[in-house]
Chains A and B, each alone.
Chain A
């Protein structure tokens, strides 16, 4: 968790090697992935599932084909088996009935659920969610939060959720890190973070408008600017 612009998505991009670090190491599952070649990287990514902020469904394919896509690319499963696996994954996210719809026909929440089905279709060891609650209505938000928890428990996998929705993270996370200014500002169980002594963490967890993250963006003196003769 952390305020907007603090580097959460960048961190995810480092963990998945969409970005390479300028210096230092990125260790995933015990391996320094910054040293991976392209084949090792793609092998690792087959063991990862990622849910993008907007779902990132391939818009020229139906829901079914989107979920089947990784299977068709990486396995030699027969059509019958692919169909059954896809329908099972879509059933798990409650969208078996939408299998033959196109992405443009889906609501934001549905698109994210389809993307979740696609992310778990290869039975990954790790699921990564980039801001899964952004722009969703309360019902869809609740559905996604429930699915994140369910997938984590049912599949026995590691889930990393990046978000700034304190309440939803409180519901789904076992352990949280608050990131600010590119550093870990606090960590612990979500309930404990509210009692953090750090002012920045408290401001973030309680949603206060002013604090270490100032309400006013840096600007010249107010009175001086109003009374001055400049055009700034």
Chain B
């Protein structure tokens, strides 16, 4: 039993170390890819970002709406319903916006990245590139990684904005909170550090979600089952890492 736990732990360390080296290689190739293959990067921003927009916007709207409902029902007891905007604003900007976006990104774009790269591997496309003297790290991995890294903060901003709109619709239009109070309170309380915290999180989560997705695809077993498992691992690993780092960054900003 102890031996099994120990060997699982060693395997984890080995995989984690390999992923860190992979991350360093991605960073090493990033400048040359940005200069020489920017068209590939911009396509991947579209692929990971623009194609995730619908799910991000719909989710943002409903998350904001629920947040407003919950805040209002609690604050109403203290006759403080005018401060609903503060709760919706702080919650969305500092925590829920970046975390939800990252989780949705992992489910929508991360799985797509992993399975795409995994299938390229299973159908020898990566080997074919190597045989054509084209490094798949530069052609496949880095552009997809950068696409995710760039897309995540943008998606987070959109999620948060739509979420605030959803909260406004519920709080102001449905529950009758004064529109001036809603936006005034929001503007007064949500300021620089809160926004920086949200931006920091979205950048860190962008790195995590993109790294995990590309790493899992690149290292998946080249079989149908292998690609399926890698896709599952992408969602699980990203979710755990995002929630862990969400706590860490929140603690740092306190």
Contact = CB atoms under 8 A, between A and B. Distances in A.
Contacts of B132: 45-46, 69-70, 73, 118
A18 B131 contact: yes
Nearest to B119: A59
B133 A42 contact: yes
Interface in A1-58: 16, 18, 42-43, 45-46, 48, 50, 52-54, 56-58
B124 A53 contact: yes
- B interface, how many residues as a size bin? 10 to 19
B124 A74 contact: no
A48 B130 CA distance: 11
A203 B134 CA distance: 41
Nearest to A130: B124
Given A45-B132, A73-B132, A73-B134, A54 B123 contact: yes
B125 A45 contact: no
B125 A56 contact: yes
Interface residues of A, number: 21
Contacts of A46: 132-133
B20 interface: no
Nearest to A66: B128
Interface in A38-94: 42-43, 45-46, 48, 50, 52-54, 56-59, 69-70, 73-74
A108 B55 CA distance: 37
B124 A45 contact: no
A50 B123 contact: no
Nearest to A16: B131
A70 B120 CA distance: 17
A112 to B, nearest CB: 12
Nearest to A38: B135
Most buried by A among B120, B124, B131, B134: B131
A31 B107 CA distance: 48
B127 interface: yes
A200 B125 CA distance: 35
Contacts of B124: 52-54, 56
A9 B134 CA distance: 21
A56 B123 contact: yes
A18 B125 contact: no
A126 to B, nearest CB: 11
Nearest to B126: A56
B128 A50 contact: yes
A6 to B, nearest CB: 20
A54 B128 CA distance: 11
A18 B127 contact: yes
Interface in B105-124: 120, 123-124
Most buried by A among B120, B125, B128, B132: B132
Nearest to A58: B125
A25 B215 CA distance: 32
B125 A59 contact: yes
A58 B133 contact: no
A118 B132 CA distance: 9
B123 A59 contact: yes
B113 to A, nearest CB: 13
A46 B131 CA distance: 8
Interface in B126-147: 127-135
A183 to B, nearest CB: 26
Nearest to B130: A18
A70 B133 CA distance: 8
Given A50-B128, A57-B128, A69-B134, 7 more contacts: A45-B132, A46-B132, A50-B131, A54-B124, A56-B127, A57-B125, A73-B134
10 closest Cβ contacts across the A-B interface?
A56-B128, A56-B124, A42-B133, A45-B133, A50-B131, A52-B124, A70-B132, A46-B133, A73-B134, A56-B125
20 contacts: A16-B131, A18-B130, A18-B131, A42-B135, A45-B132, A46-B133, A48-B131, A50-B128, A52-B127, A52-B128, A56-B123, A56-B125, A57-B125, A57-B128, A58-B128, A59-B120, A59-B125, A70-B132, A74-B133, A115-B128
